[in-house]
């Protein structure tokens, strides 16, 4: 009996031992099946990230482009201590990094270590070649993890970390060009437009599709491209081609810089527009910044003054008022208007003129910029004619230029135009706000046979496959008859030959325009600070350009008069256009009105 019990106990013990062993075996299998053993994979995939498109000037210069950035990673445990210095020497030779810096990074880190985050494409290619050479030289050795007992061999890896935006033209074409910010997408640094062209065409400039390569790998982790590998195509963002040539832009910018300094002005702004197409040839300002390195002092220059700054335009609005009167057949250019020696009482408001006269013809109200005269003839327009006429010319509406954050400006409500005071003040450019671009667009009507068109900065978009895409252009409505536009042209030419704009005259060219000098209001009160402007056109036998100049808050003595500030800038802009072949003076063009 005792012998039988002993035998059962031995069998049970043996069974428990076998069961325990089996459980240990299963546990071991499960452990090795689930832990990361860092075994080399036979198949490897690699993403080639698409990049942001370029912005290209009309004369073919890349003024904004993107380059890929890479980072170099190495596992310090895989570097053979006997060949540590060889690695440092070769890596820094290929990368251009400082040897002492790299040596310090390697010695102060254990395991996977980033040597550099800002490697360009060319250097990345060299470093990838170096990685293969280092394997052959035996610089890397297998390392066995003491915790897991797993051996691995990781050499030098060069992988994409993102993209960087470059602006080779430095501050030229800013702020209209704009700038970008960095954003993180799937552990990759990308860029996105914040202002200017960069922002407005964000949807087109941003990358379209990354490429993916899948295939067998070699010992250095490089994909073997053979018949079994799979590749999808990469599509970068569209290239944006501007209407502005870089050469003339820089020339005009330098001109404005000189005038800004001599006039001691807050800003000098100039725009040249092709009158028939609406294409902007130059949009220049004295206030610019470097998009690669925006400093605190640049913050005031980040906005595009031409579309974001609103101001009371002053006497340049007299031409618009006069055109509305001609359109409504409520004035004859040769009507004689009593201007009362340059001082007129309208209700409780006293209106004065800088140029004193007793009587002027209706058109000479524009030629000699009479506030008294325009205040009287503006009364001939009824409220609807005046209000709707200003809207037809584009005031209180976006100009349509391809830039973001455009200010629409302000004109009085319709019922306000029943007031004689409002008619008078709006007639000579007060009691309303407009942007520079709105005034330029309105003046272009006179040089484009009465048709209004939206200014544009972009000629075309080009896809990564070379397909041209042209932005849709609206021909624009006819807002005044051709005869009225022609008559306004003659009056504005007379301003240059006989009136307030004589300083803009150049022999052999058809030049017309209107001066504007406007008080600036602060805290509801007008102060002795002025904006001075000159808007008009310059034509030769083949080309027609509408040109605007704004001088903001010039401090030089008497520079607040447009004739002393904006007009000389306007003339010099035209001279630069002549020097660079945009306009050609001709003896066939009469120089008298």
- Domains of the chain: which residue ranges? 43-96+113-149+157-228+236-242, 246-289+308-461+490-579
Tell me if 79 sits within 8 A of 87, measured CB to CB.
yes
Tell me if 524 sits within 8 A of 542, measured CB to CB.
no
Residue tagged 């071991």 (tokens): 28
- How far apart CA 288 and CA 51 sit, in angstroms, is 26
Question: Would you call the peptide bond into 542 cis, given omega within 30 degrees of 0 as the criterion?
Answer: no
Give the lowest-confidence range in 16-30, 64-78, 135-149, 162-176. Answer: 16-30
Pick 167 or 559 by higher pLDDT: 167
- How far apart CA 165 and CA 100 sit, in angstroms, is 29
- How far apart CA 468 and CA 462 sit, in angstroms, is 5
Q: What single DSSP character describes residue 39?
A: P
Tell me if 565 sits within 8 A of 545, measured CB to CB.
no
The residues, ordered by sequence, that sit 6+ positions from 403 with a Cβ below 8 Å of its Cβ are 176, 196, 197, 200, 304, 307, 457
Please give the pLDDT value at position 527: 73
- How far apart CA 46 and CA 213 sit, in angstroms, is 5
**Torsion sign across C-alpha atoms 394, 482, 443, 246:** positive
- How far apart CA 175 and CA 171 sit, in angstroms, is 8
Tell me if 41 sits within 8 A of 101, measured CB to CB.
no
Tell me if 549 sits within 8 A of 439, measured CB to CB.
no
Q: Which CATH number fits domain 43-96+113-149+157-228+236-242: 1.10.1060.10, 3.30.450.40, 3.90.1310.10, 3.40.50.1110?
A: 3.90.1310.10
With both helix axes pointing from N to C terminus, report the angle between 99-107 and 84-95 in degrees, rounded to the nearest 10: 130
- How far apart CA 68 and CA 58 sit, in angstroms, is 25
Domains 43-96+113-149+157-228+236-242 and 246-289+308-461+490-579 share a fold: no
Please give the pLDDT value at position 46: 66
What length does the chain have?
A: 593
What average pLDDT does this structure show over 488-498? 98
**To 10 degrees, the CA torsion angle through 284, 509, 316, 253?**
10
- How far apart CA 467 and CA 462 sit, in angstroms, is 5
What average pLDDT does this structure show over 536-548? 97
Residue tagged 């270590």 (tokens): 113
Q: Which CATH number fits domain 246-289+308-461+490-579: 3.90.1150.10, 3.40.710.10, 3.40.190.10, 3.40.50.880?
A: 3.40.710.10
* CA 528 to the chain's CA centroid: 34
What average pLDDT does this structure show over 325-329? 98
Please give the pLDDT value at position 36: 47
Residue tagged 């667009």 (tokens): 441
The residues, ordered by sequence, that sit 6+ positions from 474 with a Cβ below 8 Å of its Cβ are 400, 453, 454
β pairing state of 349-352 and 343-346: antiparallel
- How far apart CA 176 and CA 456 sit, in angstroms, is 12
Pick 71 or 40 by higher pLDDT: 71
Residue tagged 């004739």 (tokens): 563
Report residue 187 as tokens: 């552990």
Residue 348 — very low, low, confident or very high, per pLDDT cuts 50/70/90? confident
The residues that bridge with 361 in the sheet, in sequence order, are: 336
Tell me if 565 sits within 8 A of 532, measured CB to CB.
yes
Residues 374-403: pLDDT tens digits?
A: 999 999 999 999 999 999 999 999 999 999
What average pLDDT does this structure show over 43-55? 79
**To 10 degrees, the CA torsion angle through 551, 393, 196, 474?**
-140
* CA 361 to the chain's CA centroid: 46
Give the lowest-confidence range in 61-65, 510-514, 558-562. Answer: 558-562
- How far apart CA 213 and CA 142 sit, in angstroms, is 27
Report residue 504 as tokens: 């803009």
What average pLDDT does this structure show over 55-59? 98
Give the lowest-confidence range in 12-16, 359-363, 491-495. Answer: 12-16
Exposure letters 262-298 (e unless 16+ CB within 10 A, then b): ebebbbbbbbbbbbbbbbbbbbbbbbbbebeeeeeeb
The residues that bridge with 235 in the sheet, in sequence order, are: 209
The residues, ordered by sequence, that sit 6+ positions from 169 with a Cβ below 8 Å of its Cβ are 57, 61, 63, 246, 250
pTM > 0.75: yes
Q: How far is CA 192 from CA 160, 189, 290, 302, in A?
A: 18, 10, 17, 16
pLDDT at 211 over 80: no
The CB density around residue 98, as the number of other CB atoms within 10 Å, is 10
Tell me if 256 sits within 8 A of 269, measured CB to CB.
yes
H/E stretch holding 542: none
Nearest Cα neighbor of 391 from 365, 426, 364, 359 is 426
Residue 40 — very low, low, confident or very high, per pLDDT cuts 50/70/90? very low
- How far apart CA 235 and CA 50 sit, in angstroms, is 6
**Torsion sign across C-alpha atoms 371, 376, 379, 385:** negative
The CB density around residue 588, as the number of other CB atoms within 10 Å, is 8
**To 10 degrees, the CA torsion angle through 26, 29, 30, 32?**
160
β pairing state of 143-144 and 151-152: antiparallel
3-class SS of residue 170 = coil
Please give the pLDDT value at position 45: 59
Report residue 501 as tokens: 């704009």
Please give the pLDDT value at position 122: 86
β pairing state of 359-361 and 239-242: unpaired
Report residue 55 as tokens: 């912005």
């Amino acid at each position: 009996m005792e012998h039988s019990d002993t035998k059962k106990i031995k069998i049970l013990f043996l069974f428990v031992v076998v069961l325990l062993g089996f459980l240990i075996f299963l546990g071991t299998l499960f452990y090795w099946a689930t832990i990361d053993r860092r075994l080399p994979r036979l198949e490897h995939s690699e993403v080639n990230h698409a990049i942001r498109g370029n912005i290209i000037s009309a004369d073919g210069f890349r003024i904004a482009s993107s380059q890929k950035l890479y980072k170099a990673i190495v596992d310090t445990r895989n570097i053979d201590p006997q060949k540590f210095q060889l690695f440092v020497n070769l890596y820094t030779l290929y990368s251009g990094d400082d040897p002492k810096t790299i040596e310090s990074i390697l010695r102060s880190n254990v395991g996977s270590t980033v040597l550099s985050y800002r490697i360009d494409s060319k250097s990345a290619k060299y470093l990838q070649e170096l990685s293969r050479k280092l394997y052959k030289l035996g610089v890397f050795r297998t390392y066995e993890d003491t915790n897991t007992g797993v051996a691995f061999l990781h050499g030098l890896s060069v992988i994409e970390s993102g993209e960087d935006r470059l602006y080779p033209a430095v501050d030229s074409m800013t702020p209209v060009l704009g700038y970008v910010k960095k954003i993180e997408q799937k552990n990759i640094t990308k860029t996105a437009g914040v202002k200017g062209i960069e922002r407005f065409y964000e949807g087109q400039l941003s990358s379209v599709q990354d490429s993916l390569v899948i295939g067998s790998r070699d010992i250095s982790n490089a994909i073997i491209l053979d018949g079994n590998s799979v590749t999808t195509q990469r599509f970068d963002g569209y290239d944006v081609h501007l209407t502005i040539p870089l050469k003339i832009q820089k020339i005009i910018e330098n001109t404005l810089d000189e005038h800004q300094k001599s006039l001691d002005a807050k800003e000098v702004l100039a725009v040249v527009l092709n009158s028939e197409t609406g294409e902007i040839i130059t949009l220049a300002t004295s206030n610019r910044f470097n998009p690669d390195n925006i400093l605190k002092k640049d913050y005031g220059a980040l906005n595009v003054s031409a579309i974001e700054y609103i101001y009371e335009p002053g006497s340049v609005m007299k031409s618009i008022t006069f055109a509305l009167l001609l359109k409504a057949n409520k004035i004859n250019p040769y009507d004689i208007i009593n201007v009362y020696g340059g001082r007129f009482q309208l209700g409780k408001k006293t209106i004065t003129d800088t140029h004193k006269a007793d009587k002027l013809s209706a058109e000479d109200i524009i030629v000699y910029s009479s506030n008294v005269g325009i205040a009287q003839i503006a009364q001939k327009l009824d409220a609807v004619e005046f209000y709707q006429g200003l809207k037809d010319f584009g005031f209180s509406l976006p100009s349509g230029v391809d830039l973001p954050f455009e200010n629409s400006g302000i004109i009085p409500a319709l019922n306000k135009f029943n007031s004689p005071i409002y008619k008078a003040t709006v007639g000579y450019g007060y009691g309303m706000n407009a942007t520079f671009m709105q005034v330029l667009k309105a003046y272009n009507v006179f040089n484009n046979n009465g048709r209004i068109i939206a200014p544009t900065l972009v000629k075309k978009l080009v896809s990564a496959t070379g397909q041209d895409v042209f932005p849709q252009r609206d021909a624009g409505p006819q807002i005044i008859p051709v005869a009225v536009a022609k008559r306004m042209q003659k009056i504005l030419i007379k301003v240059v030959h006989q009136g307030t704009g004589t300083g803009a005259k150049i022999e052999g060219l058809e030049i017309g325009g209107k001066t504007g000098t406007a008080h600036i209001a602060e805290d509801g009160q007008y102060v002795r600070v002025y904006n001075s402007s000159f808007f008009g056109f310059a034509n030769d036998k083949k080309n027609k350009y509408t040109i605007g100049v704004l001088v903001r808050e010039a401090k030089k003595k008497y520079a607040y008069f447009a004739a002393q500030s904006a007009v000389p800038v306007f003339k010099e802009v035209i001279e630069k256009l002549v020097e660079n072949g945009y306009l050609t003076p001709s003896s066939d063009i009469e120089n008298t009105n």
